[in-house]
Chain A
Amino acid sequence: MELQIDDSVLVKNYIQGDERSLEILINRHNQRISSFIYSKVLNQSITDDIFQDTFIKVIRTLKRGSYSEEGKFLPWVMRIAHNLIIDYFRKKNRLPKFECNDNFNIFSIIGDGKLNAEKQLIKNQIDFDIKLMIEELPGDQQEVITMRMYKDMSFKEISENTGVSINTALGRMRYGLINLRKMIEKHNIVLTNY
């Protein structure tokens, strides 16, 4: 029959520097403490984390000499584990939790605002096609569209720069856009919406 050393003796030996006593204590109460934690959190890896944090507190308290031996080692460790479980649930409730499913995707709310690689390629292709079509327009319409769309100039500025009235500039813009639409229809060009 194996003689079981009392917890209080092991704790005393550990405080005096016997590391082997800690090993016996951990192994002796491992299942009981782990099962207690697991019954609350129902997750093995979280159980391991809380078990580890519990014994880190135990080790620090014992080594600091702050533990008062009253023959209640296990209830004391269980109390520490219990408090850490409460801390875990408090922390878990504080953190917002988002789960992605068919109806909701977190990336529809957060994003960096940039196009992904595929959409960027499509955009480049569309920009290139539009540029080619603008080059096919009569010079005056080409000039107005370029100034308005690429240089972001107002019609007043365009009229001042080209030496025509605002109405003429507006008219050239209008005919330019009509001609572009005609070209798109004629050549069956698809400008995919991105």
Chain B
Amino acid sequence: MEKIYAKKKQTCELVNAQPKTVQFLLNYSKSLHIVDYNGLKFESNKN
């Protein structure tokens, strides 16, 4: 009997974020500082 069913296409594709995106996030994390003043939180970015 002929095959009447098409093969199910692989819908899940495995991808990774680019290394430069990861590097950006690590640098962002290192540069971000939170200052707590009287219960208020201020963000500062040391770049």
B10-26: CB near A (< 8 Å → 1, else 0) gives 01111111100110111
Contact across chains for A51 and B13 when beta carbons are under 8 A apart: no
Give the total of B residues in contact with A, Cβ under 8 Å: 21
Q: Which residues of chain B are within 8 angstroms of A52 by Cβ–Cβ distance?
A: 17, 21, 24-25
Q: Does A27 contact B (CB under 8 A)?
A: yes
B26 to chain A minimum Cβ distance, whole angstroms, is: 6
Q: Which of A23, A27, A59 contacts B28 (CB 8 A)?
A: A59
> Is B41 at the interface (CB under 8 A from chain A)?
yes
The reply on A22 being an interface residue by CB < 8 A is yes
A4-44 Cβ-contact flags toward B at 8 Å (1 or 0): 00000000000000010011001100110111001100001
CB interface residues, B 19-47, toward A, < 8 Å:
21-22, 24-26, 28-30, 32-34, 41, 43
Q: Which residues of B contact A60 (CB under 8 A)?
A: 32, 43
